[in-house]
Amino acid sequence: MPDVAQPRNKVIIVGAGVGGTSTAARLAHAGLDVEVYEKNEYSGGRCSLIYHDGYRFDQGPSLLLLRPLFDQLYSDLDTTLEEHIDLVQCNPNYVLHYHDGGKVVLSSDRAQLSREVEKWDGVGGADRLEGFLAEAAAHGSLSYDLVLSKTFNSLFSLLRPTFLANAIRLHPYGNCFNGPKHAKGLSWYPIGGFHKVIQSLVDIATSHGARYSFSTPVSAVTYDHSGRATGVRLSNGEWKSADVVIVNADLVWAYNNLFTKDDSQSNSGRKKATITEGGNDRETSELLDPKLARRLLNKPHSCSSISFYWALDSLIPSLNAHNIFLAEDYKGSFDDIFKRKGMPREPSFYVNVPSRIDPSASPDGKDAIVVLVPVGHLLPSSGKEETIKTFSNGSTVPDVDSQDWPSLVERARKQVIEIMEGRLGIKGLREKIIWEEVNTPVTWKEKFNLTHGSILGITHDFFNVLSFRHQARHPTVKGAYFVGASAHPGTGVPIAIAGSKLCTETVLSDLRIPRPESYASKRSTPKSSLDIQHRRDVLYVLEDIISTLFPYMVGMILMAIVGSGGLWYNGFFEDPPQPPATIFQQYQGETPPSLGLDLKSPVVLLGSLSVFILSILYIKLP
């Protein structure tokens, strides 16, 4: 009989954000039948573009950081990043503007950066920079190897010896990722906007047979009596079947909207769940897991932003492609955002001028400008007028129980313009703006179903990372998975790309499908010019020796412990049985019988050797 082609496993992905498009490309490349449903008319989610009359703006991310993760993605897809994207290296990486007019240029050129640091940090600053970069490089490599490429399906995952041996070096008890990010190597900008990366992933996926349906919202993930995912229900009522469903929509929103008992065949004893979010109480169909849904909803979320997109009638030469304006009390500014969930009395903000490195972003002689002002996210209670609270330290910030976003937008615009004019020494910035679009926490929430309007999802504090963060698998619905900012390993474009690989490998493993050959043991951390550090040779050699000997040392210790148990083993079967203290006292001044490891105790000998071998294997295996 002729061979009959086996049907391919059908995968439906909900959402065409970074995680969804990269996972779609990976799974389609692996030979699965992939279909993606996206509520908006465009792909990319926050990595999308805004156009106006010859001007182009990145709606969200504007820097390509942690390039090794992008290189790994395209390598896994049997291609290269350069084959699809025209990248421009950003030099300087960005410019810091201080309240007193001081300006720090963070160059991607090592020598120039050292001179800049010496200027501000005095003699020895360059040496301290080298030490900082060496430590940052070590942290980066450990993060790649121990966190971004590993799943943490239970608390026991935190007990991996290779993880424990290096965890302290990663400072896990600090404020992980709550401050400025330290990128590995250089920063880059994709010509044509960051969405070019997303579009290339869509193109790769479709070249392998994947299909995209835009302007097609999904209302539910469906599953059968056994708790296995069977597909999705679209907002128009149409049902689409699948063997696997991957949710790239906001994870917290998905738990509170897509997984309900209405979508199984077991609807007895239903109870309505009331969800409070962003100032609105809504009654939903009974949630599949209301306790988990509410717990996720109450987890600390990252900040939101007021983002301005300005088309200017001329250039502002004193602006670089990437600029950060720091408030005089920048720590207090961050406290206003992250602790008090409000808008700072004096904001720190980021200004991106894509037309500075990509002329196609605006008409000749004119600038396209994006201003991102971090603010607190939406809260359950929201009034109509802004009020002011005075804190014990004398600072005043908006009362976060009264978030009047139109008023806050007006205040943010006024402050941003005043700060930019003052620090750049320019006038008439407001008059240069010929067109504006604004995103607020409300619009972020409405456009992309972002819980609380939080632009980065669940925070990265200690109890929301690693085993404490939601992993790829749904805990109760078999065949349902998550990828994106609020799932492991976390938020940010390159981190979501790392998550797409973990999600893909989990799906393939559950389906018992071999990983593509292109995945075979390729290190994810190729060297770049800033990764070549002047290593402290003696310390690093010592570290390598300890790392090599560590598993054997643990094995010998465990072997000794088990062997010591041999004494208890020998004494226990005496008549009457003797406790360990008596047994050891019995051998004082004499040589004990090999701690019980003589031929009279072959079981103990075999057990000790087994513990020794297994401990080495456990430590050595990833």
Mean pLDDT of 108-113: 79
pLDDT at 119: 77
State which of 98-107, 403-412, 516-525 shows the largest mean pLDDT.
403-412
Phi/psi-derived region of residue 438, left when phi > 0, alpha when psi is between -120 and 50, beta in every other case: beta
Q: Residue 335 — φ and ψ, nearest 5°? A: -65, -40
What separation in angstroms does the CA of 141 have from each of 158, 168, 181, 578? Answer: 18, 14, 15, 52
- Higher model confidence: residue 300 or residue 395? 300
DSSP letters, 298-363, are: TS-B--EEEEEEEEESS--TT--SEEEE--TTHHHHHHHHHTS-S--SS--EEEE-GGGT-GGGS-
pLDDT 10s digits, 262-321: 665 443 333 444 444 444 444 445 888 899 999 989 888 999 999 999 999 999 999 999
DSSP collapsed to 3 states, 565-620: HHHHHHHHCCCCCCCHHHHHHHCCCCCCCHHHCCCCCHHHHHHHHHHHHHHHHHHH
Under DSSP, is residue 557 helix (H, G, I), strand (E, B) or coil? Answer: helix
Residue 461 in this model has a pLDDT that exceeds 70: yes
Helix (H) or strand (E) holding 27: helix 18-29
Residue 611's pLDDT is 60
To which H or E segment does residue 433 belong?
Answer: strand 433-439
Average pLDDT over residues 247-271: 75
What residue spans of 399-440 are helical by DSSP H?
405-424, 429-432
Residue 406 has pLDDT above 90, yes or no: yes
- CB 275 within 8 Å of CB 281: yes
Reply yes or no on whether the pLDDT at 348 is more than 90: yes
Q: Is pLDDT larger for residue 141 or for residue 415? A: 415
CB 351 within 8 A of CB 374: no
In 3-state terms, the chain is what percent helix, strand and coil (to 5)? 40, 20, 40
Pick from 91-100, 223-232, 534-543, 544-553: least confident: 534-543
**Number of C-alpha atoms within 13 angstroms, CB side, residue 416?**
26
What pLDDT score was predicted for residue 469?
84
Mean pLDDT of 79-89: 95
Place of tokens 């598993």: 551
Q: Which of 66-70, 490-494, 520-524 has the lowest mean pLDDT?
A: 520-524
